[in-house]
Amino acid sequence: MKLYRFGQFVSRLYLSTFYKVRVIGKENIPETGPVLFCCNHISNLDPPFLGAYIKRNICYMAKQELFTVPVLKTILPILGAFPVRRGMSDKQAMRTAMTLLKEGNIIGLFPEGTRSKDGKLQKGLAGAGFFALRTEATVIPCAIVGPYKLFKPLTLVYGKPINMTPLKEEKVSVEETTATIMNEIRILIEQHQSK
């Protein structure tokens, strides 16, 4: 916990020093209970930015390769990250995420699966829809509106929770649910891009 808070402090210090940071919608984050953050992905700085300015801890799926780096393999689990094998269905990572949500944690997901090279929102992977449908987590679309250019505006938006009840009642597919989530992220980006 202390290491996580220290990481938040360092992230805030760095981000607030080198960018004109604006954080919108923190009131949309429940104080307790499981939450699924679904965010666009434009930089390696996205994970620390997503969690730097809020009170609750976030757990992340991180690519398995990072857990082979000497220092990171020790620090990442302490910070709440767990490995996922990209490009395949990683059942262990899915089980870990489900358990964390059942325990009332926040999971931070980047449904695109990898960073967007041109900054444009890509198609989301089915995992976001799976967790949204299979758990009781509050699903919050998030948008990072950049780019990360020194001393330029950088905005993080936590959107209003998506009402999952109709999607669950209509037994919508995980792919359609992911598409719904991605559309909400797209709307947030468009709303704040020119501000």
Rounded (10°) CA dihedral 67, 68, 72, 74: 80
- The pTM (predicted TM-score) of the whole model is 0.92
Give the Cα separation of 83 and 72 in Å (integer). 12
pLDDT computed for residue 87 by the predictor: 65
One-letter amino acid of 174: V
Tell me the CA end-to-end span of the chain in Å, nearest whole number.
35
Q: Which residues form the domain of 102?
A: 2-192
165 contacts 115 by C-beta, under 8 angstroms:
no
pLDDT computed for residue 145 by the predictor: 97
pLDDT computed for residue 174 by the predictor: 96
pLDDT computed for residue 195 by the predictor: 60
Number of structural domains found in the chain: 1
115 contacts 41 by C-beta, under 8 angstroms:
yes
The CATH number linked to 85 is 3.40.1130.10
pLDDT computed for residue 79 by the predictor: 78
Taking only the tens of pLDDT, the chain with its 195 residues reads: 688 899 899 999 999 999 999 999 999 999 999 999 999 999 999 999 999 999 999 999 888 888 888 888 888 887 788 988 876 678 899 999 999 999 999 999 999 988 998 889 999 999 999 999 999 999 999 999 999 999 999 999 999 999 999 999 999 999 999 999 999 999 999 999 866
Give the Cα separation of 28 and 156 in Å (integer). 13
